[in-house]
Amino acid sequence: MKKHNRLVGLGLVVALAQTANAADVRLNGFMSVGAGKLLNSGTSRDHLSTLLLAGVETGGGESPATYTADAATQGIYNEDLSFRPDSNYGLQITAALGDGLSATGQITGNGGENFDAVVSWAYLSYTFNDNYTLMVGRQRMPLFYYSDFIDVGYAYHWIRPPTTLAASEGDTIEGIKLRGTWLAGDWDISSDIYYGASKQEINRGGSQYTVESVDTGGFALKASNGTITLRASMLDSSAIISGNPLVQAFNQGTRDNPLQNTFYGLAAHINIANAFVVSEWTRNDNKENYLALFEVSGSEDTTGWYISAGARFGKVTPHITYGENESNYKGETLLGESQFTGGFSSVTIGLRWDFHSSAAFKMEYETRSDDSDDYFQNSAGGFGYGDGYEADLISFSFDAIF
């Protein structure tokens, strides 16, 4: 699939380049080179379920915990210095074809995926009037406050947006989106309504799954007056999972009985003189999502939030962020039913230095505590998952746009 995406991306570049004489073509790009390592980490326990049908679950080995910087691309830090998890690049081409029609393509590569080039965006837009634009094709779902430019590290003060949010691996959709914009007094209002499907390859603990999201529909609504920005979003989707025998055995996540997922998000951003505060809350409601853990259990809901504040002093922006994440699980085996909670809290302090008109240097220190209950850490499925959320990460990055 990645090879196919690379070929599509190359074809897109060539096709748009050939229209340069007949259309207004704009080329933009971004790049981040980041590095980091864990200074301290908890212990993660791997789980195996080979004896599940006999009523016994076998436990895997223990290993130092890791830190997932980007779930979508499996960018993961461990105790060794790595330049991959927060490094990426992107090239965006927009061709204005006249009479309200335009084509947009974005090719990106991430360190977590060996910097392989993939097509992140490939869609046509048609602007009906000053208020409405229709977009058809592959595009990013507007789930989070920073979704539209989440790959562009230069666009925000962190090295990466907080990982405490209730995020999933997939963030793109092939479908249709209607965008509206209006003025209401001093407020600029915008909305996105979208519908489509997507397919993602997921790697969990060395196991490969295919997650196909169908009947995916949602909206995002944003209002801003220059000082305050408020945002709300919602998504409803059905998931079909291939490659997990437990899912098939319990007839969950099949085409006849897909898993149901509903996402909610709220965010606010406030600018006061040279200071700012941004906060976001998200929640994923799942129905018996057996992909969540390696035993027969499901993530019933996951809630995450953060609040971040900073101040700009010329070219330097110090900032601090606090966040929490909590997942509630339900386990069902021949040994009985159990409910337990996994989660963590984190504090991040950082500094951004805009040393160039098109580039910034950032450095951060994040300390994360495992707030999971005792059953999750020590007894879930018979062995527990350890304090795998425990981690202290130091990292830095260079972010540029061009």
For 102-140, the pLDDT digits (tens) are 999 999 999 988 999 999 999 999 999 999 999 999 999
Q: What is the pLDDT of residue 204?
A: 61
Please report, as a single letter, which amino acid is at residue 267.
A
Q: What is the mean pLDDT of residues 31-45?
A: 95
User: What span, in angstroms and rounded, lies between the C-alpha atoms of 270 and 229?
Assistant: 6
Greatest distance between any 2 Cα atoms in the chain: 69
H-run or E-run covering 7 = helix 2-18
What average pLDDT does range 306-321 have in this prediction? 98
- Helix (H) / strand (E) containing 6: helix 2-18
Max mean pLDDT range (163-172, 240-249, 301-310): 301-310
Q: Is the dihedral of CA 11, 13, 14, 16 positive or negative?
A: positive
Residue 202: how many other CB atoms lie within 10 Å: 19
pLDDT of residue 55: 46
Contacts for 124-129: CB closer than 8 Å, 24+ residues apart: 125/101, 126/100, 126/101, 126/102, 127/100, 127/101, 127/102, 128/100
What pLDDT score does 93 carry?
96
| In the predicted structure, residue 333 carries a pLDDT above the cut 70 | no
Residue 288 has a pLDDT of 57
DSSP-based three-state secondary structure for 111: helix
Predicted TM-score (pTM) of this structure: 0.88
How far out from the chain centre does Cα 12 lie? Answer: 25
Check pLDDT > 50 for residue 97.
yes
Among residues 348, 395, 385, 366, which one has the least CA distance to residue 65?
385
Q: How confident is the model at residue 100 (pLDDT cuts 50, 70, 90)?
A: very high
The two tokens of residue 40 are 């301290």
Note the pLDDT of residue 60.
58
- CA–CA separation, 277 vs 275, rounded Å? 7
Question: CA torsion 213→218→224→227, rounded to 10°?
Answer: -50
- Cβ atoms 290, 246 nearer than 8 A: yes
Q: How many percent of the chain have pLDDT more than 90? A: 65
Decide: 55 and 333 in contact? Cβ < 8 Å.
yes
- Region of poorest pLDDT, from 41-50, 224-233, 308-317: 41-50
pLDDT tens track for 272-281:
999 999 999 9
Average pLDDT over residues 315-343: 85
Which of 54-68, 174-188, 203-217, 272-286 is the least confident region? 54-68
| Phi, psi values for residue 246, rounded to 5° | -70, -35
pLDDT at 381 over 70: no
Segment 80-86 shows an average pLDDT of 97
305 — phi, psi (to 5°)? -155, 160
For residue 110, give both structure tokens: 């991430």
What is the structure's pLDDT at 317? Answer: 98
Can you give the residue ranges of every domain in the chain?
39-76+126-401
- Residue found by looking up tokens 């018996």 in the block: 288
Q: Which residues of 137-160 are buried (b: 16+ CB within 10 A; e: fewer)?
A: bbbbbbbbbbbeebbbbbebbbbb
Q: Are strands 118-127 and 207-224 parallel, antiparallel or unpaired?
A: unpaired
DSSP string, 176-229: EEEEEEEEETTEEEEEEEEEEEEEEEEEETTEEEEEEEEEEEEEEEEEE-SSEE
User: CB–CB of 214/235 below 8 Å?
Assistant: no
CA nearest neighbour of 120 among 69, 73, 172, 179:
172
Confidence label for 49 from pLDDT (cuts 50, 70 and 90): very low
